[in-house]
Structure 1
């Protein structure tokens, strides 16, 4: 059931992106810091680049005690009318996590659907986002984890 939901979500997001004609992405690329996780202890770097006028690729590497994770997300983004610089987005991404401590280690792989808001400050090259990213583990860490918010601040490069 969860896999069906994720498949339907991905197909719907791709359909919306293919049918959208007007420009929505307020910038081409940005680099910043992201706080990912349930308690803010997962901190990392993030790079976002526009793929089309309504879609973007976001890459991140996050670090925590004995843990590192790498992710890549595809996002469909749409400006909110009459709210200069504010947009909502939805997407899906993949994440690989590597844990190692006292001779023990584990690698996990999962899918992270997402929905969020991003605000690009109109007068300065700064963008901020807040999103919800549940996690569906596919190998060692199988199962659905409904928690997971991220907050990030990015410097707009162009």
Structure 2
């Protein structure tokens, strides 16, 4: 498990800091995210900011049922899909923290998805697979988690 985690983090780092392609369709996008799948559904705020042509940080503050708040960020590598104007694919990984009445969960969240910036309009949509590895309270893996974002891009 540790070798797999190290390999994922190393690969993500290599992708994030390479600047060979131009994936960026916008600099920053701000909006809403729905986090759904196995377990509670959450809704909250989402921001994605590019710090290089392919590297971005996608951060969110999500409110779940039962007074649970999630705070997380992923470092992402983004690249264009040839022939599809405004459509990018991305992969990333980052920490996520869940704060509730009686406990705090520390998670590692890899992500893979599609990002579509509407050409000629400041609207951005994203859909991603967001599994989670809970690292405290016993190690647990939840595969069926997904995110949908609607953002204003500028």
TM-score scaled by structure 1?
A: 0.90
Q: CA deviation at 1:24?
A: 1.1
Which consecutive aligned stretches of 4+ in structure 1 deviate over 6 angstroms post-superposition? none
Determine if contact 2:17/2:55 at 8 Å carries over to the other structure.
Answer: no
CA distance in 2, matches of 1:18, 1:74: 10
Correspondence for 2:28:
29
Helix, strand or coil for the counterpart of 2:45?
Answer: strand
- Give the root-mean-square deviation of aligned CA atoms: 1.5
Q: CA deviation at 1:141?
A: 5.4
Range moving further from structure 2, 41-50 or 4-13: 4-13
CA distance in 1, matches of 2:100, 2:83: 45
Task: Confirm whether residue 42 of structure 1 aligns to residue 37 of structure 2.
Answer: no
List runs of 5+ in structure 2 lacking aligned partners: none
Correspondence for 1:78:
79
Helix, strand or coil for the counterpart of 1:25?
Answer: coil
CA distance in 1, matches of 2:130, 2:106: 15
TM-score scaled by structure 2?
A: 0.92
Task: Confirm whether residue 99 of structure 1 aligns to residue 100 of structure 2.
Answer: yes
Determine if contact 1:17/1:55 at 8 Å carries over to the other structure.
Answer: yes
Range moving further from structure 2, 89-98 or 16-25: 16-25
Determine if contact 1:108/1:141 at 8 Å carries over to the other structure.
Answer: no
Q: CA deviation at 1:43?
A: 0.3
Determine if contact 2:109/2:131 at 8 Å carries over to the other structure.
Answer: yes
